[in-house]
Amino acid sequence: MPRSSAVRFSHFIPSLLLLLAGLAAAYVKDLNVFFTSLFNVLPTLVLLLGGSYCAVYRRQRELFLMVTVYIAYFLLDTQTDYYRDNGKVREDAAVVFHLVCLLLPLLFGLFAAWQERTHLFQDMVARFAVLLAFGSVALGLEQSYPQALLMWLSEIRWPALHGAWMSLIQMSYPVFLSAFLLLAWQYWRNPRPLHAAQLVGLLGVFWMLPKTFILPFTLNIMCSQVMLMIAAAVAHEAYQMAFRDELTGLPGRRALNERMQRLGRNYVLAMSDVDHFKKFNDTHGHDVGDQVLRLVASKLSKISGGGRAYRYGGEEFALVFAGKTLEECMPHLEVIRESIASYNIQLRNQENRPQDDQQGRQRRGGSGASSVSVTVSIGVAERVEQRTPEDVLKSADQALYAAKGAGRNCVMAFGQNRRGAVRMDSAAG
């Protein structure tokens, strides 16, 4: 999965929008009957729909995250309902609230970082056992030693770290911080929409708890939003698996087919193929072959002139120029072809990989490592009257074969003869 700043930011967009929507709704005053009724049933509705969605796609980590948030909602909602109806809190409100403030971030961080690595049924049993163990111990202590437990929870253990602004028990702050750092590290190592949703969801929970008895329906709204973040992340990742190529990070064949249905009347399509890729793979191995495909994809993704690159399959890539003419696109295709041909790939021992980007640049600047280069052939076709996108793509594919027949490492338009191909003779193979 690509790790550019733009891609990383896109992981957070759905969750941040849901968080902002939840914050805005929580501060709305004088809600009418419709919204009051909606907020009362919204958490349960989200759990049923989102939980079923996660269960169908066997996303047990996400399912248990939602269940954990809902259990906290149920426990606190009982307290807030009593408070709204009677104007005072229940006798066990303090101990229940403090337990939730301690256990919710703990279990949220645990289930969020707990990846599925065993059989699905075994994983489900293990998660349920952990949830049951924490719940049973907490319930037993709350029922048997309520006052002693309350004193233990509310004790200020680090006076120097306690501030007047702290509205939660002191122990919950290091738990929240530890969970946040754990999830941030997890996202840094493996940027995914789910990991981004977990981080934003934890922030939403942290904001929600102090406002539980202060702002009406804060608990209902934010718990619903956090569960929606998790369900939306599952949908986001499902979309990426369907429409984005995992190796190169480019949009895949399905995304190309969808884009071709929305091209309008004027457009240019190009097909690109890595020259002698099978021979290169056999010589240097599939790991280096994958490195080459990622390099070519990275170069193609930066094409100028309004083009958009797609992974067509294997070593083939497609380029789409909407609203462009052939004459406008040819210079940009030639620039990207030359950029790929002039790039040297350093081959290093996999056991001696650089530890950071700076070390990698130093090694690339040295002479100790062997290097290879690859070239691409490009065929391009323009839409003409009474031609479908599929026909134009076939014409671009025919032009690609013509480019290979012309000596490779060149750009050839459909119907163009070999002499008219744009190529770099010294690098043609």
Q: Give the Cα separation of 47 and 228 in Å (integer).
A: 9
Confidence tier at 427 by pLDDT (50, 70, 90):
very low
Q: Residue 386's pLDDT is what?
A: 59
Whether 65 contacts 130, CB under 8 Å: no
Question: pLDDT (tens digit, 9 = 90+) per residue, 259-284?
Answer: 888 888 889 999 999 998 888 888 87
Looking at per-residue pLDDT, the higher value among 46 and 354 belongs to 46
Q: Residue 367's pLDDT is what?
A: 46
Say whether pLDDT at 356 is over 60. Answer: no
Q: Work out the percent of the chain whose per-residue pLDDT is above 70.
A: 89
Number of other CB atoms surrounding residue 287 within 10 Å: 10
Query: Is 315 annotated as catalytic?
Result: yes
77, 83, 89, 90 alpha-carbon torsion, rounded to 10°: -60
Q: Which residues, at least 6 apart from 350, have a Cβ–Cβ distance to it below 8 Å?
A: 287
Q: What is the mean pLDDT of the chain?
A: 86
Question: pLDDT (tens digit, 9 = 90+) per residue, 111-165?
Answer: 999 987 767 788 889 999 999 999 999 999 999 999 999 999 999 988 888 888 8
Segment among 184-198, 293-307, 345-359 with least mean pLDDT: 345-359
**Is 46 buried (19+), middle (13-18) or exposed (0-12) by CB count in 10 A?**
buried
Query: What angle do helix axes 93-113 and 193-208 make, rounded to 10 degrees?
Result: 170
Place of tokens 């969750």: 15
Question: pLDDT (tens digit, 9 = 90+) per residue, 293-327?
Answer: 988 999 999 999 899 999 998 899 999 999 999 99
Could you tell me the sign of the dihedral formed by the alpha carbons of 31, 66, 226, 13, in that order? negative
Q: Residue 54's pLDDT is what?
A: 87
**Average pLDDT rounded to a whole number, residues 81-107:** 92
The model's pTM: 0.74
Question: pLDDT (tens digit, 9 = 90+) per residue, 230-239?
Answer: 999 998 888 8
Q: Residue 239's pLDDT is what?
A: 82
Q: Residue 369's pLDDT is what?
A: 54
Q: Work out the percent of the chain whose per-residue pLDDT is above 90.
A: 52
Half-sphere exposure of 367 (CA within 13 A, CB side): 0
Place of tokens 């924490």: 134
Q: Give the Cα separation of 18 and 8 in Å (integer).
A: 17
Task: Output the CATH code of domain 253-349+372-413.
Answer: 3.30.70.270
Whether 22 contacts 211, CB under 8 Å: no
Catalytic residue among 62, 237, 315, 382: 315
Say whether pLDDT at 65 is over 60. Answer: yes
Question: pLDDT (tens digit, 9 = 90+) per residue, 156-175?
Answer: 988 888 888 888 999 999 99
Q: Give the Cα separation of 370 and 235 in Å (integer).
A: 43
Q: Residue 181's pLDDT is what?
A: 97
Structure tokens at 91: 């006798």
**Side chain identity at residue 241, one-letter code:** M
Q: Give the Cα separation of 362 and 353 in Å (integer).
A: 12
Q: Residue 359's pLDDT is what?
A: 53
